[in-house]
Structure 1
Amino acid sequence: MTELKIEGYASLFWTRDLNDDVTAAGAFASSLARTGSVGVKMLHQHDEAEPIGVWDAVVEDAKGLFVQGRILRATPRGRLVAALVEAGALDGLSIGFRQVKARTQGRLRVLTRVELWEVSIVTFPMLPGARLMVR
């Protein structure tokens, strides 16, 4: 198989992460309307030097930011990540973004609009519930 199909939630709305950030529903809408899923890169551990696949769908639903994509085994890093995902050793998702608009609520930063750059497959996601599974 030349690709591994995956899906999961890269962000969960109204859920505090380990950095005291909370993403509001609709925070990704303008960014996704502008770029679509093609504008969101798939990386490993936020390393922009070696993309590992493509996101075929990046959408907001009632729960959060849902992603579907394919890890491509055409590169050494893609083969490594696919093998680790299949073995169950790697299952976290993490977003790379630029804050456009946010507000503070006590210790929390509530992200109300962000420019989404990438979704990475990571060992330790900042949002513990941001996980992927093999389709």
Structure 2
Amino acid sequence: MYGFSPSGLEVKFCRFDEALTVSDGHVIEGYASLFGACDQGGDVVQKGAYSRSLKGLSDQGRRVKMLWQHDPAQPIGVWDELREDGKGLWVKGRILDAVEKGREAAALIGAGAIDGLSIGYRTLRATKDDRGQRLLNEVELWEVSLVTFPMLPQARVGSQKADEAKGDFLHELATVFQDARRKLAAR
């Protein structure tokens, strides 16, 4: 999907790929954006579109934010690595279990209920091609969110458990949250 967040940033949704992994309980990695793929909003991110933004953030000692559903009031972790490669924008980060929404996100990813990444950015340079697609040549990346609905259908991914023990842990965590919700709802 394509749209604007409450803060006015443009947002793009992209599904996790089988390259997404959850390890050490809460470490995730995968592609937040794929180069050359037309999304449902008619936009195509070009190779190099993130390079200046990533360098500027690094030079300033700042990080791209990890948010829940593009909500700036709900940071759920930190992105430790972001880089462009030949395929797209690759990200690796940690969901923080000390944050309630972080625990929820980890459980939902582990259960396969959430499988999307989405970028929040500001377009700096774009052109149109002869098919009317907007070619994003340079963007200022602000955040990468975990989301329910992806924007880029061809970037299909599935959540992978690092091993059975970690999968069991996440399933148990999801069960604890469900039980707690039932108890609260019964009050």
Regarding TM over 0.5, the answer is yes
In structure 1, what is the Cα distance between the partners aligned to 2:156 and 2:62?
Answer: 21
Alignment check: 8 A CA contact 1:5 1:68 kept: yes
**Highest CA radius of gyration, 1 or 2?**
2
State the TM-score, normalized to the length of structure 2: 0.68
Gaps of 5+ in 1: none
> Which residue, 49, 56, 67 being the options, matches 1:27?
49
Aligned to 1:76: 100
Between 1:31-40 and 1:41-50, the stretch displaced more is 31-40
**Percentage of pairs with the same residue:** 53
> Which residue, 140, 148, 156 being the options, matches 1:123?
148
Aligned to 2:11: none
Distance of aligned partners of 1:131 and 1:44 in 2 relative to their CA distance in 1, 3 Å threshold: farther
How far apart are 1:39 and its partner, in Å?
2.1
In structure 1, what is the Cα distance between the partners aligned to 2:93 and 2:157?
Answer: 13
The ranges of structure 1 where at least 4 consecutive aligned residues each deviate by more than 4 angstroms after the TM superposition are 130-135
How far apart are 1:82 and its partner, in Å?
0.7
Alignment check: 8 A CA contact 2:63 2:79 kept: no
Aligned to 1:43: 67
State the TM-score, normalized to the length of structure 1: 0.92
In structure 2, what is the Cα distance between the partners aligned to 1:80 and 1:2?
Answer: 16
Alignment check: 8 A CA contact 2:53 2:139 kept: yes
Aligned to 1:108: 133
Aligned to 2:80: 56
> What's the RMSD between the two structures over aligned residues?
2.0
Alignment check: 8 A CA contact 1:9 1:131 kept: no
Secondary structure of the corresponding residue to residue 49 of structure 1: strand
Query: When you count helix as a share of all residues, which structure comes out higher?
Result: 2
Aligned to 2:173: none
Secondary structure of the corresponding residue to residue 55 of structure 1: strand
How far apart are 1:130 and its partner, in Å?
6.3
Alignment check: 8 A CA contact 2:112 2:159 kept: no
Q: Deviations over 1:48-74 (max 9, x none)?
A: 101000001000000000000111111
Query: When you count strand as a share of all residues, which structure comes out higher?
Result: 1
User: What is the identity, as a one-letter code, of the residue corresponding to 2:94?
Assistant: R
How far apart are 1:123 and its partner, in Å?
0.8
